[in-house]
Amino acid sequence: MPQPRGQGPTLGAALNSLLADFGVQPKGRLASYKAKTWHAQLVHLTHTHRGYTALEEAGLHVTHATLMKWLSDDEYNVRRSYREIIHQAYEAAATISADPILQAFKDHQFEIRGIVKTGADERDRGAHGTAPLRIDGRNGHWASIEAMWRDGELGDAAFEDDFIDFVICDDIGEGTDGWAFPGGTYTIT
């Protein structure tokens, strides 16, 4: 099995790429959920077990006869509160939860290749025979990163910032004047 590898134009992009190479899926949206009106959303929901479950969890409690009336007539006058419940259920059914970040990722021995700066010291780590920046993920505090991942908010910039603050600094310290990654390409193994 090849060693996981992440690449990107920023450290955060490379970290997200590495996370994907570990096989972890972010929070997302099912591509088939594109309906806009309450009726189209209800039709979509009633075609799958996932949809019926989402309707129940959102609190839609109507008789089978009422549901059939709604489905048979897209002009039917449904109360706004029911339309909101249908929309809430639709959004819930469309959302895919993020896989948890694997312990193997958090325990990873990260090797970062690219421009690394701390204070006045700026080097191209891992290039021309130089050593990459090595970080022991076991020394990091991952709670903030995991929370953003679960909420679907772990963008490249946020991942980079929190990785510096809670993994790099916890492993090797804050550096002379903080850590910066001003390069245009990074590789992490």
Q: Give me the amino acid identity at 111.
A: E
45-69 pLDDT per residue, tens: 999 998 999 999 999 989 989 999 9
- pTM of model > 0.85: no
Q: Is the dihedral of CA 86, 89, 93, 96 positive or negative?
A: positive
Band (73; pLDDT cuts 50, 70, 90): confident
92-121 pLDDT per residue, tens: 999 988 899 999 999 999 999 999 999 889
167-176 pLDDT per residue, tens: 999 999 887 7
Kindly compute the dihedral angle of the four CA atoms of residues 26, 109, 9, 116, in this order, to the nearest 10 degrees.
140
User: How far is the C-alpha of 69 from the C-alpha of 64, rounded, in Å?
Assistant: 9
